[in-house]
Amino acid sequence: MKNLSIPHHVYLVSEDAAPNITPALDRTLRPTEVTLVVSPDMNQRALWLSRVLKQAAGVKVNTWQVDDAWDVEHLLERFMSLLEQTPSLPALNATGGTKPMSIAAFEAFRAYECPVFYVHPFTDELYWLHPQHLPSHQLEDRIKLRHFLMAYGAEIKSEGSSGILPAYQALTEHLIQEIQQYGQVIATLNWYATLAEETLISPPLQRDHLQWPAFTKLLTRFEDAGVLQIKDACLIFPDETARAFVNGGWLEQYVYLQVVKLRQQLPILQDVKQHLKITRSTATGKIENELDVAFLANNRLYLIECKTRRFPIKKPSEGPGAEAIYKLDTLKELFGGLHCQGMIVSYLPMRDADIHRARDLGIEICQAGQLQNLSHYIQAWILAKQISS
């Protein structure tokens, strides 16, 4: 493998971008030039992929157009023309494209005695289809979140800090340890924090709420952390960052820290970020999304939605539970389908209907008391996806 130098790769552009990025980033295989074979419906994805290959891998990128991704005769002719016009014999990545594209490309490259490889869509192991005597190769986990998202038409506009204050860490740990005590009153605190979004001052605290020992203890904990003050029976937040932290942002930080700590045990865990604000390119313009916690493991995207609000019990199609499930299901399809996984972490118990709906869509749930073993649940989730895939 070390003696095999192939400076020119040919990639077949499809909706799944990851298998066309990993070989270009691998230090054993990294080419100096890549030719993207593009059908008319893949022009936009080719532009996204081209940007990633140039920025992340530093390679020269060319494009080779085909008129019909399903006409084998046309495709054979185009691949033959490509090889005849290429000075050095390139290697084909047969992973992408339509099936007729990969079949036609394989036949053409084999006829010209050019190497052909395939990237396993789940394990990131590279297999040589021609010549077959070459050993398989485990591709390196070198994609960063910024480039992974870029390959699917999304850009990171802002992200949360990677450093968490010790006082915040202590508070989040306490909230998880005492989840049975705070499970009900945390939703009330969220309600006040939500109503303070415009002015950073909540409405006056209701008398019956102040009679809850758990609620007053909760307020004291947040006040000691410096994220709110109680004045004239109202909650006053020093800034929007503090208000957002009280309004559920603390759970994002807790989940983020659990994933960061897991990197010591799981080498396949690559890039971890929290509170990402992204924009996606669509046919109708730019769409904004927020990702609570996102990370890559073995070149696959994992998304976690964090919820501290009370999940309503009336309409199954409404409320935070249904919204989070719909959002994750949509993002999974946009960011690689099988290459993207989703989980909901809920401080409060979720409705049975939401849990069943999430499981039907392949979305994991970690809720209520399970959060006290969150690190274990996340690790098991990652490893299960590697094995099951």
Delimit the CATH 1.10.10.680 region(s) of the chain: 166-245
Lowest mean pLDDT among 27-36, 58-67, 304-313: 304-313
List all residues 6 or more positions away from 103 whose beta carbon is below 8 Å from its beta carbon.
72
Instruction: Please tell me the number of Cα atoms within 13 Å of 98 on its side-chain side.
Output: 16
Buried b (16+ CB within 10 A) or exposed e, 344-361: bbbbbebbeebbebbeee
Q: How far apart are CA 241 and CA 227, in angstroms?
A: 9
Q: How far apart are CA 199 and CA 231, in angstroms?
A: 14
Delimit the CATH 3.40.50.10770 region(s) of the chain: 8-140
Question: Using CB atoms within 10 A of its CB, is residue 93 exposed (0-12), middle (13-18) or buried (19+)?
Answer: buried
Q: What is the pTM of this model?
A: 0.91
| Residues 16-27, mean pLDDT to the nearest whole number | 93
Q: What is the pLDDT of residue 63?
A: 97
Q: What is the pLDDT of residue 240?
A: 95
Pick the CATH number of 166-245 from 3.60.15.10, 1.10.10.680, 1.10.10.10, 3.30.365.10: 1.10.10.680
Q: What percent of the chain has pLDDT over 90?
A: 80
* CATH annotation of 8-140: 3.40.50.10770
Return the structure tokens found at 140.
């390196």
Is the bond leading into 267 cis (omega within 30 degrees of zero)? Answer: no
Which of helix, strand or coil describes residue 275?
strand
Taking 60 as the threshold, does the pLDDT of residue 4 lie above it? Answer: no
pLDDT category at 284 given cuts 50, 70, 90 is confident
Taking 70 as the threshold, does the pLDDT of residue 347 lie above it? Answer: yes
| Residues 114-140, mean pLDDT to the nearest whole number | 91
Q: Which helix (H) or strand (E) holds 354?
A: helix 352-360
Q: What is the pLDDT of residue 311?
A: 46
CATH architecture under which domain 157-162+251-388 falls: 3-Layer(aba) Sandwich (3.40)
For residue 32, give the amino acid letter: T
Q: What is the pLDDT of residue 12?
A: 98
CA R_g for the chain: 25
| Residues 331-357, mean pLDDT to the nearest whole number | 90
Delimit the CATH 3.40.1350.10 region(s) of the chain: 157-162+251-388
Taking 60 as the threshold, does the pLDDT of residue 313 lie above it? Answer: no
Question: 3-state secondary structure string, 192-224?
Answer: HHHHCCCCCECCCCCHHHHCCHHHHHHHHHHHH
State pLDDT tens for residues 97-121.
999 999 999 999 999 999 999 999 8
Q: What is the pLDDT of residue 3?
A: 45
State pLDDT tens for residues 190-248.
999 999 999 999 999 999 999 999 999 999 999 999 999 999 999 999 999 999 999 99
pLDDT category at 1 given cuts 50, 70, 90 is very low
Q: What is the pLDDT of residue 161?
A: 86
Among the listed residues 21, 91, 17, the one whose alpha carbon sits nearest the alpha carbon of residue 57: 21
